[in-house]
């Protein structure tokens, strides 16, 4: 029986597992928002199909879709991808889905954060966002999992955990005035301790340059395994990302994780820089919140990949670097299947493969 629970995961002996731990399902949501996805979302839909196909080799995929798009999505998606009709405002499942927690007895529960479209009335990307805010509870209901309604605004892409007590985030996002302006850094940390049962928060100053999510950590780094991360790296001194990556490296290499380990950092080359073309911008409906104009810099990053049951699904973003990144991922994840998907269409919408997926751990 799924229900709301008034205590906290920490009190109940639950913790958030790392992405490298076994998964029962991955959730996605079908793109159709015309002021975000060009040409009515058609190019993006084809890309989402490829991502779903790739993931479904290792993990069952549940795709959320609106009533209007149900038949279209069913026709485009492989039979082994399950379709669930559900209302959303857009398709960033990482940020609107639940963050799952597990205990040592094999039980699983969801954490349902408040969602305000990356900034609410201060600098949110769209309004309203109430359908998105309801998705996490609906996912938990679907699985019959109980859930906690956490007391803060938070998106799943703004945190990474290692499953052993360490959480990585950025000050740029979690301390942004558009998220939880009434709470101090210490108070936000306490909520993370209570609702994800982490022991230590590693605060990286900024996320990727020009990331409209106010610098989500999942677009800058990824946790390879406990005590080890990849970091988006830029060698061009004139690029704004150059200093951002160096400040991040400094934090990561001078701190220890929750278990007292020095954090090992692998440098992942930054694609591009990449920009929206005239043709790409022409297919997007004009909106107040989202910049989709020609020449706008895209927040492209290879760190925005998904780890799912001994498979890595990563974005192909730059022909000059795609195979180098594949080699690096093969080195970092021995025994894993490394699958690249041409992901520029997802990037044009403001994120990438990690942003459009949300895993459910095995119970």
In this prediction, residues 47-67 reach a mean pLDDT of 98
pLDDT band at 257 (very low <50, low <70, confident <90, very high): very high
pLDDT, residue 175, reads 98
pLDDT, residue 293, reads 83
- Taking residue 198's Cβ as centre, other Cβ atoms within 10 Å add up to 24
Question: Above 90 in pLDDT, residue 2?
Answer: no
pLDDT band at 259 (very low <50, low <70, confident <90, very high): very high
- Helix/strand/coil for 56: coil
What does residue 42 show for φ and ψ, rounded to 5 degrees? -60, -50
CA torsion sign for 95, 98, 101, 106 is: negative
- Helix/strand/coil for 321: coil
Q: Could you tell me the strand order of the sheet in which 200-204 lies?
A: 159-161, 166-170, 200-204
Q: Among 122-131, 200-209, 275-284, 314-323, whose mean pLDDT is lowest?
A: 275-284
Say if residue 320 is preceded by a cis peptide, omega within 30 of 0. no
- Taking residue 182's Cβ as centre, other Cβ atoms within 10 Å add up to 6
pLDDT band at 289 (very low <50, low <70, confident <90, very high): low
Q: Cα 2 from chain centroid?
A: 25
Q: Among 56-60, 247-251, 284-288, whose mean pLDDT is lowest?
A: 284-288
Question: Above 60 in pLDDT, residue 220?
Answer: yes
pLDDT band at 1 (very low <50, low <70, confident <90, very high): low
Question: Above 80 in pLDDT, residue 278?
Answer: yes
Are the C-beta atoms of residues 335 and 311 closer than 8 Å to each other? no
d(CA 35, CA 16): 34
CA torsion sign for 184, 189, 194, 196 is: positive
pLDDT above 70 as % of the chain = 99
Question: Above 60 in pLDDT, residue 325?
Answer: yes
Which ranges of 56-177 would DSSP assign to H, the alpha helix? 70-76, 93-96, 120-123, 130-143, 171-174
User: What DSSP element (H or E) covers 344?
Assistant: helix 344-348
Residue with tokens 């985030």: 169
Closest CA to 354 of 161, 156, 84, 204: 156
In this prediction, residues 85-99 reach a mean pLDDT of 98
Domain around 70: 4-361
Are the C-beta atoms of residues 308 and 17 closer than 8 Å to each other? no
In this prediction, residues 305-328 reach a mean pLDDT of 98
In this prediction, residues 114-121 reach a mean pLDDT of 96
Tell me which of 140, 173, 234, 355 is the catalytic residue. Answer: 355
In this prediction, residues 172-190 reach a mean pLDDT of 97
355 is a catalytic site residue:
yes
Number of domains the chain contains:
1
Q: What is the mean pLDDT of the chain?
A: 96
d(CA 226, CA 162): 5
pLDDT, residue 336, reads 98
pLDDT, residue 300, reads 97
Question: What CATH number does residue 299 fall under?
Answer: 3.75.10.10
Give the CB-side neighbour count of residue 152, counting CA atoms within 13 A: 27
């Amino acid at each position: 029986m799924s229900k709301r629970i008034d205590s906290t995961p920490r009190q109940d002996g639950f913790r958030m597992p790392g992405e490298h731990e076994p998964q029962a399902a991955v959730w996605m949501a079908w793109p159709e928002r015309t002021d975000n996805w060009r040409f009515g979302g058609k190019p993006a839909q084809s890309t989402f199909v490829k991502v779903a196909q790739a993931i479904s080799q290792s993990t069952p995929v549940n795709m959320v879709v609106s009533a209007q798009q149900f038949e279209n999505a069913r026709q485009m998606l492989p039979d082994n991808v399950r379709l669930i009709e559900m209302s959303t405002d857009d398709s960033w499942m990482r940020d609107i889905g639940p963050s799952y927690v597990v205990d040592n007895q094999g039980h699983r529960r969801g954490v349902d954060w408040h969602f305000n479209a990356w900034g609410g009335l201060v600098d949110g990307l769209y309004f309203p966002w109430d359908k998105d805010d309801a998705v996490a509870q609906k996912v938990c209901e679907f699985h019959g999992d109980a859930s906690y309604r956490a007391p803060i605004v938070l998106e799943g892409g703004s945190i990474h955990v290692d499953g052993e007590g360490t959480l990585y985030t950025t000050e740029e996002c979690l301390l942004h005035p558009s998220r939880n302006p009434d709470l101090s850094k210490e108070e936000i940390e306490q909520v993370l301790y209570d609702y994800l049962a982490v022991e230590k928060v590693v605060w990286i100053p900024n996320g990727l340059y020009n990331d409209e999510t106010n610098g989500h950590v999942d677009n800058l780094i990824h946790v390879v395994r406990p005590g080890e991360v990849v970091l988006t790296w830029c060698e061009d001194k004139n690029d704004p990302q150059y200093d951002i990556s160096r400040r991040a490296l400094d934090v990561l290499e001078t701190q220890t994780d929750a278990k007292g380990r020095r954090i090992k950092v692998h440098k992942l080359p930054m694609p591009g820089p990449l920009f929206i073309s005239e043709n790409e911008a022409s297919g997007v409906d004009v909106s107040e919140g989202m910049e989709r104009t020609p020449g706008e810099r895209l927040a492209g990053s290879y760190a925005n990949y998904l780890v799912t049951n001994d498979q890595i699904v990563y974005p192909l973003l730059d022909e000059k670097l795609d195979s180098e990144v594949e080699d690096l991922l093969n080195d970092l994840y021995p025994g894993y299947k490394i699958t690249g998907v041409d992901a520029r269409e997802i990037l044009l919408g403001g994120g990438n493969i990690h942003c459009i997926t949300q895993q459910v751990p095995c119970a």
